[in-house]
Amino acid sequence: MKEEIAELKSEFKAKLLFWNNIKSKKLKVALIVLFVGLVGLKVFTTVLTFDWLVIF
């Protein structure tokens, strides 16, 4: 369990370091929009799937 937590911390630190190394604000905005878009697409398709299940 401790190994998994240590691995998660290490991965988080690597992602944070990557994010802090990005100098372009346009790229940061593009990554945020991409992330929000992917989450929105997932939620939208899940809602549509449940709507189709209710009809049938």
Tokens in use for 10? Answer: 């290490």
- How far is C-alpha 38 from the chain's CA centre? 7
Residue 55 has pLDDT above 80, yes or no: no
pTM score above 0.75? no
pLDDT, one tens digit per residue, over 5-53 is 999 999 999 999 999 999 999 999 999 999 999 999 998 888 777 766 6
pLDDT, position 40: 93
pLDDT, position 33: 97
Residue with the two structure tokens 């049938």: 56
pLDDT, position 39: 96
Residues found in the chain: 56
